[in-house]
Amino acid sequence: MPSSTVSYTAQNGTREPGLMHRSLLERPHQVVSGSGIYLTLADGSRIIDGCGGAAVAVIGHGNKEVKEAIIQQYSDVAYVHTMTYTTSSAEELANELTELSKPFGLTKAFFVCSGSEAMDATMKLARQYHFENGQLQRTKFVSRRQAYHGGTIGAMSVSSNLPRKIPYEGALLLDNVSYVSPAYAYHGQKDNETEDQYAARLVQELDDEFQRQGPETVIAFVAETVGGATAACITPPRGYFAGVRKVCDKYGILLILDEVMCGSGRMGTYFAFEPEGDVRPDLLTLGKGLGGGYAPIAGILISQRVVDVLAKGSASFVHGQTYQAHPAGCAAALAVQRVLKREDLVAKCHTKGAFLEKRLRSALGDAKYVGEIRGRGFFWGIEYVQDRASKRPFKPEVKFHKRIHAAAHDRGLAIYPGAGTIDGINGDHSILAPPLTATEEELEEMVRLLKEAYDAVEEELGSTMK
């Protein structure tokens, strides 16, 4: 029988899917439509998208303005090759973003299809900057533990998400990366330390690592401005990034900030680094919320400092991708940015984020298994512990994060689950990252459903956790 006609079936007689899902054991729910904060499943049930997918859907689902912009772009031209051509959608999107970023010295934009691609391209651009400066000895990156920067080889190499890295260690990943501590106060700040002292200690650790590696050999320091899926919305202590900027400047090391998950307005400012003082990254990655889920698009914002060095040298970036600055992707992202701007959604996120924080703390702040609630804007992480006093996590086999996720979904709420929060093995968390369009009433409903889910899991575990 020809292979094209073979029908693979499961033990229960149903046909095995041809699509390679994330799990070979569990099939995902099929979504048939989306509107606002809601997803409708094939069985007719409606789910509140309380996590925006993966903090992606910044303006919700089914926005007609974005749909029309995509259709118009496809009507005009679907694809051009950027070696020879450009389009108005790409040019206007770059102008929109650099208008926001120029006050921070970021003057050029470069567009790709995913955050992983953006990080790989950023690493290459950082290396090329030093290469054109005549500093060929700069071959190393310093990153932070408990961070995730993407699934491609370069991006995974500067990540430290252990479950995603372990299969590829020693075979594919780069060996020129070292790590320092994350800005993770819940587990990292000492009892007798002030916030300022904790920040200073982290900055000194980074300086020490530069010295250990030989600062003249380091290309860049890579960090998520606010921790993402790996450790759930960990926010930096006051003064940390301003101190990091000074240390990088001292040695001529570039600062790369990853805002693929926490940027594009989700933190209540367009760039997550804005409240952190005089930071001014040399290179910054955006994704997820940039296109709001309407198209696969991500980007790099590039400082004038980097542009100037390339302009005086090769006058080009030695990198290119087939779908770079894809017209329809850029049209979608441009429409999303205009919705954000016209409806003042970033400022509203700041205000409603305080409301969401208050409701979360009221509902779950004193819960038996909730260790910390952290975040800003519409990006909130809840870390679960078995014992609040000692911060002792649940054993991994309990799968607390999965229990909460399942209980919430059963009640009509999608949240983003995570494990290995503390060290890649231990710890559980949930992330709430709703669309920036969510109303206070909708936020109330999300918190109510999350509390119901938590209560059900606490009761379920009550007899076994004694």
pLDDT tens-place string over residues 93-143? 999 999 999 999 999 999 999 999 999 999 999 999 999 999 999 999 999
Q: Given 3-state DSSP classes, what are the helix, strand and coil percentages for the chain, each rounded to the nearest 5?
A: 40, 20, 40
Q: Which of 183, 229, 179 is nearest to 208 (CA)?
A: 179
- For residue 45 the two structure tokens come to 């049930």
Taking residues 168-184, report their average pLDDT. Answer: 95
Alpha-carbon distance 105 to 102, whole Å?
A: 5
Token pair 């298994």: residue = 369
Q: For residue 3, is pLDDT > 50?
A: no
Amino acid at residue number 48: I
Contacts for 170-174 with beta carbons within 8 Å, 24 or more apart? Answer: 174/141
pLDDT, tens digit, for every residue of 213-245? 999 999 999 999 999 999 999 999 999 999 999
pLDDT of residue 17: 86
Token pair 């049209």: residue = 331
pLDDT of residue 345: 98
Q: For residue 10, is pLDDT > 70?
A: no
Alpha-carbon distance 445 to 429, whole Å?
A: 20
Q: For residue 295, is pLDDT > 80?
A: yes
Instruction: Please list the residues that pair with 34 across neighbouring strands.
Output: 39
Q: Which of 63, 73, 164 is nearest to 435 (CA)?
A: 63
pLDDT of residue 11: 54
Alpha-carbon distance 43 to 263, whole Å?
A: 34
Alpha-carbon distance 134 to 132, whole Å?
A: 5
Taking residues 51-79, report their average pLDDT. Answer: 98
* C-alpha pair distances (Å), 156 with each of 183, 202, 421, 422: 19, 23, 17, 18
Radius of gyration of the chain (CA): 22
Task: Say what percent of the chain tops pLDDT 90.
Answer: 92
Q: For residue 6, is pLDDT > 50?
A: no
pLDDT, tens digit, for every residue of 193-204? 999 999 999 999
**428-432 sheet: strands from edge to edge:** 370-376, 379-384, 428-432, 416-419
Task: Say what percent of the chain tops pLDDT 70.
Answer: 96
pLDDT of residue 16: 82
Q: Under DSSP, is residue 405 helix (H, G, I), strand (E, B) or coil?
A: helix
pLDDT grade for 420, boundaries at 50, 70 and 90: very high
Q: Which of 388, 372, 356, 350 is nearest to 51 (CA)?
A: 356
- Decide: 66 and 89 in contact? Cβ < 8 Å: no
Based on the number of CB atoms within 10 Å of its own CB, is 255 exposed (0-12), middle (13-18) or buried (19 or more)?
Answer: buried
pLDDT of residue 8: 40
- For residue 229 the two structure tokens come to 């899926």
Q: For residue 7, is pLDDT > 70?
A: no
Alpha-carbon distance 60 to 303, whole Å?
A: 31
Helices marked H in 313-364: 327-342, 345-364
pLDDT, tens digit, for every residue of 11-47? 556 678 899 998 888 899 999 999 999 999 999 999 9
Q: For residue 1, is pLDDT > 60?
A: no
CA dihedral defined by 448, 449, 455, 461, rounded to 10 degrees?
-160
pLDDT, tens digit, for every residue of 373-391? 999 999 999 999 999 999 9
* All domains in the chain, ordered by first residue: 3-62+344-461 (3.90.1150.10), 66-342 (3.40.640.10)
Which residues, at least 6 apart from 463, have a Cβ–Cβ distance to it below 8 Å? none
- Decide: 399 and 419 in contact? Cβ < 8 Å: yes
- Decide: 436 and 420 in contact? Cβ < 8 Å: no
pLDDT, tens digit, for every residue of 253-287? 999 999 999 999 999 999 999 999 999 999 999 99
Q: Which of 254, 262, 307 is nearest to 285 (CA)?
A: 262
Based on the number of CB atoms within 10 Å of its own CB, is 231 exposed (0-12), middle (13-18) or buried (19 or more)?
Answer: buried
DSSP of 356-369: HHHHHHHHHTT-TT
Taking residues 144-155, report their average pLDDT. Answer: 96
Token pair 């800003």: residue = 376
Average pLDDT, the chain: 95
- Decide: 138 and 221 in contact? Cβ < 8 Å: no
